[in-house]
Amino acid sequence: MDKENSPSRIQINRRDAIALMAALVANVVGKGDSPASLDPLHQLQSSYKGKIDHVYMGTPRGSLCTESNSLANAILANGWDLTIVGSIEGIDKEVIDSEHTSVFPHWMSGEAFFPRDHLLLTEEGGTIVSRVPPTNDRYVNGIMKELIEGVSNRIRGPVYSTPFPIVGGGILKTDNEVLVSGEYKSLIGTLSKWFGYTSAVPVRKDGNLLAGGHIDLYVTPVAPNTLLVADGRAGREIISSLNNSEVDSYVQTVRSIDIMGDGRNDNFNLLNVREQVGWESEMLDEIAHKLSKSYEVIRIPGVFDAKSRLMISYNNALVEHTPNSMTAIVPVTTIDELDDAAIDVYTKLSYKVTPVPFVGFSMHKAGIRCVTLESRV
């Protein structure tokens, strides 16, 4: 490691040094392991910085095809190469035939395969494959292995495997550290050994996980030392100020998407959101407060409500930040006031925003970053 990029050294007294070493041993060194190196095994690719050159996009069949098609068009319009991982149902012929598009089809009972769920990318262009807990279905296990190997081989860099499971949506790389969802708190020592300094956002004492434990649904690195953190109170206030006709198009869209069985009939009752804040907003405030000690935190409206299973996330975007280009593909609803307020946050940071309707995916607690995996140069 060169001197310019080497970590700075700090002076600590002997008692603190002993305590630090004990903590490292307790958290990092397991049975059969050797003491952790001062250097991480891998430097993860930034979650926002660097030019995007290729996007791998998971595409399910069925009612989400229209949204997948809109996203595919937005990716190509930004000049990025695209690999479709899954179904091409509903995808424009012009997209499929583009010289910048390739297709890696798979058929696994119609279920979507999202590369970010299983793969992390490194600065050197390598792929880290997360350990995938096996299912009871040997056929599914075989298909999953084939998909993971197939996608990682297409990325063409060196491939590494972790001894621990981690979902890509639960991990973000900022300029200074790796941020993870609270569910990975027990792995902090191991993650630090692999990826460098790692910290976790707060979790509830009762163990409930905000947004299913995916930190990228409520935190977004957007600039050096700058994070967007979802603001559930702001989202609720906007919705509370609207009349039924102003949210009707969103409700009708939800009704039209038959992916939730009988559960969709509650239409993610927006009235629940109007009447209460819920613990999600309190947790988002706590997370923002903690992160503000190390970052400039900018709040962006969002809606998270456990009782109605509603989630509207503007954090889960594809973000490209370079000296010559600042681009964000952002998921939106049809609630104009809410969408406009969120887009305004990005534009004030000098991002050129491409909004993509993503109501159907949000019903699965997913956003644009969830269904894609980008490589940067």
Q: What is the SS3 string spanning the chain? A: CCCCCCCCCCCCCHHHHHHHHHHHHHHHCCCCCCCCCCCCCCCECCCCECCEEEEEEEECCHHHHHHHHHHHHHHHHCCCEEEEEECCCCCCHHHHHCCCEEEECCCCCCCCCCHHHCEEEECCCCEEECCCCCCCCHHHHHHHHHHHHHHHHHHCCCEEECCCCCCHHHEEECCCCEEECHHHHHHHHHHHHHHCCEEECCCCCCCCCHHHHCHHHCEEEEECCEEEEEEHHHHHHHHHCCCHHHHHHHHHHHHHCCCCHHHHHHCCCHHHHHHCCHHHHHHHHHHHHHHCCCCEEEEEECEEECCCCEEECCCCCEEEECCCCEEEEEEECCCHHHHHHHHHHHHHCCCEEEEEECHHHHCCCCCCCCCEEEEEC
Give me the pLDDT at residue 180, please: 94
Query: How are beta strands 81-86 and 303-305 bridged, if at all?
Result: unpaired
CATH of the domain at 104: 3.75.10.10
Count Cα atoms within 13 angstroms, Cβ side, for 274. Answer: 11
Give me the pLDDT at residue 145, please: 80
Q: Which residue, among 365, 376, 355, 377, has the nearest Cα to 117 in the 3D structure?
A: 365
- Each of the 377 residues of the chain gets a pLDDT tens digit; together they read 443 443 333 333 433 333 333 333 333 333 233 333 337 889 999 999 999 999 999 998 877 889 999 999 999 999 999 999 988 989 999 999 999 999 988 765 556 778 898 899 999 889 999 876 666 666 667 777 887 888 888 888 898 988 888 888 999 999 999 999 888 888 999 999 999 999 999 877 666 667 667 899 999 999 999 999 999 999 988 988 888 788 877 877 777 765 444 444 444 555 555 555 566 888 899 999 999 999 999 999 998 876 666 789 999 999 999 999 999 999 999 899 999 999 999 999 999 999 999 988 888 888 999 999 999 99
Q: Does residue 38 sit within a domain?
A: no
Give me the pLDDT at residue 104, please: 87
Q: Would you state the structure tokens that stand for residue 348, as one six-digit string?
A: 């004030």
Domain count for the chain: 1
Q: Does residue 22 sit within a domain?
A: no
Rounded CA gap, 118 and 127, in Å? 10
Q: Does residue 342 sit within a domain?
A: yes
Give me the pLDDT at residue 146, please: 80
Rounded CA gap, 236 and 300, in Å? 12
Q: Does residue 37 sit within a domain?
A: no
Q: Does residue 243 sit within a domain?
A: yes
Q: Which residue has the tokens 């084939």?
A: 146
Burial of 140 (0-12, 13-18, 19+ CB in 10 A): middle
Q: Does residue 13 sit within a domain?
A: no
| pTM of this structure | 0.84
Query: Is-contact 231 283, C-beta < 8 A?
Result: no
Q: Does residue 16 sit within a domain?
A: no
Q: Does residue 29 sit within a domain?
A: no
Domain that holds residue 119: 52-376
Positive or negative: CA dihedral 267, 169, 20, 288: negative
